[in-house]
Amino acid sequence: MKLNKALPILFIIMFLVMVGFGIIIPVLPFYAEELGASPTELGLLMAVYSLMQFIFAPMWGRISDRVGRKPVILIGIFGLSLSFFMMALSTQLWVLFVARFIGGVLSAANMPTVMAYVADITTEEDRGKGMGIVGAATGLGFIFGPAIGGTFTDISLDAPFYIAGIVSFATMFLVFFILKESIHLSTSGAAAQKKLSWRNVFQGPLFMLYFLQFFITVSLAGLEATFAYFAAERAGLDAVSLGYIFMIMGLASAAVQGSMGALTKKFGEVRIIQAGIFISALGFALILFTQNFITAAIFLSIFGVGNGVIRPSVSSLLTKKSTVGYGMVTGSLSSFDSLGRIIGPVLGGLLYSVFIGLPYISGIILSLFAFVLFRTALAKTNLADRGT
């Protein structure tokens, strides 16, 4: 499958996957409460999904290196669809937990395997473009999904889960009939020839890039968990306004991710990562001065632009430089990302309880720490080779 044909298909697939995932976000807390969930149980319900993603993403990435990308992507999307239908049919809280557990285990296959697919079919020159397209699709799906889910809650609380299940099931058929296997189409054959050893993943200076992604995600998740309270306190913004603000931020992030091809060819991943970290830190600093809807939208968009270019660039750089299979690389990266999403909201909430601006001050600190990690990796390896 040629690059110009495969990437639009991958864009549609990841967009639909994230639309399905996003549909349930607005309704899940209310649905869980109706089944008797306490605030603590609701938090555990949200955490169990990310925990399973953290544990199983590297496993699915490695399996995709062995058996191929397409069957693993199908398993991941099937898992999402199954979990959504299980949640729709839940009459007891424990069933909801089982559904989230199954969804987390199986859907952990989606992101790392799709990114590995991109690495299979792209040259090093086009790798950043491919990763950026996947990131843009993910971001856009996450914008439209909650909007659709919020609309269907007017029908019933379980309607969004049925819609999400149907969307995911339809996406599975799209993958089955249209997407071709990528490993044997790899432009260099490297995907099938690289080592399949965890020791090779977790050694050397490249390992610092995984920690870089972890710290970036922790700061992002902390912002997402606390900004609603911060904006209400500082600017008097309500839920509707916040929805529009996050939509604007998501569109800004998706736009810059969609431009990753031109950006990486002109500046290279190394410079883009460094610029992204500094722009993210600037966004965190500006958020402290939020006064109204306009300033909130502008400051969060600045942060979103900076944060949005980091993950695709790190993914691109790791797949170029790593000595292991692409699936192992992207699976490990997704695992660190999920770990950040587990720790970030908890840390953000604790910091917010001390001082409302502390999650964003800590975001600046974490961003600068990530920058130091990246510079250390640069000093110890040849990341800047070949135009990156």
Same fold: 3-193 with 200-380 = yes
d(CA 384, CA 368): 20
pLDDT of residue 71: 96
d(CA 120, CA 188): 8
Could you tell me which of 117, 110, 86 has the C-alpha nearest to residue 16?
A: 110
User: Given the structure tokens 């969609």, which residue do they identify?
Assistant: 258
**pLDDT, tens only, 2-56:** 555 788 889 999 999 999 888 888 788 888 888 888 878 887 888 899 899 999 9
| CA–CA distances in Å: residue 94 to residues 97, 100, 102 | 5, 10, 12
pLDDT of residue 148: 84
How far does the chain reach from its first CA to its final CA, in angstroms? 26
pLDDT of residue 224: 87
pLDDT of residue 196: 52
Burial of 355 (0-12, 13-18, 19+ CB in 10 A): exposed
Tell which phi-psi region holds residue 320, choosing left (phi > 0), alpha (psi between -120 and 50) or beta: alpha
What CATH number labels 3-193?
1.20.1250.20
At the top level of CATH, which class does the domain 200-380 belong to?
mainly alpha
pLDDT of residue 55: 94
Give me the amino acid identity at 178: I
Could you tell me which of 77, 108, 57, 66 has the C-alpha nearest to residue 176?
A: 77
**pLDDT, tens only, 170-210:** 999 999 999 999 876 544 444 444 555 555 666 666 788 89
> How large a percentage of the chain has pLDDT more than 70?
91
**pLDDT, tens only, 201-211:** 666 667 888 98
pLDDT of residue 57: 94
**pLDDT, tens only, 333-344:** 999 999 999 999
Confidence band of 386 (pLDDT split at 50, 70, 90): very low
| CA–CA distances in Å: residue 3 to residues 109, 116, 185, 187 | 22, 14, 10, 10
The ranges assigned to domains in the chain are 3-193, 200-380
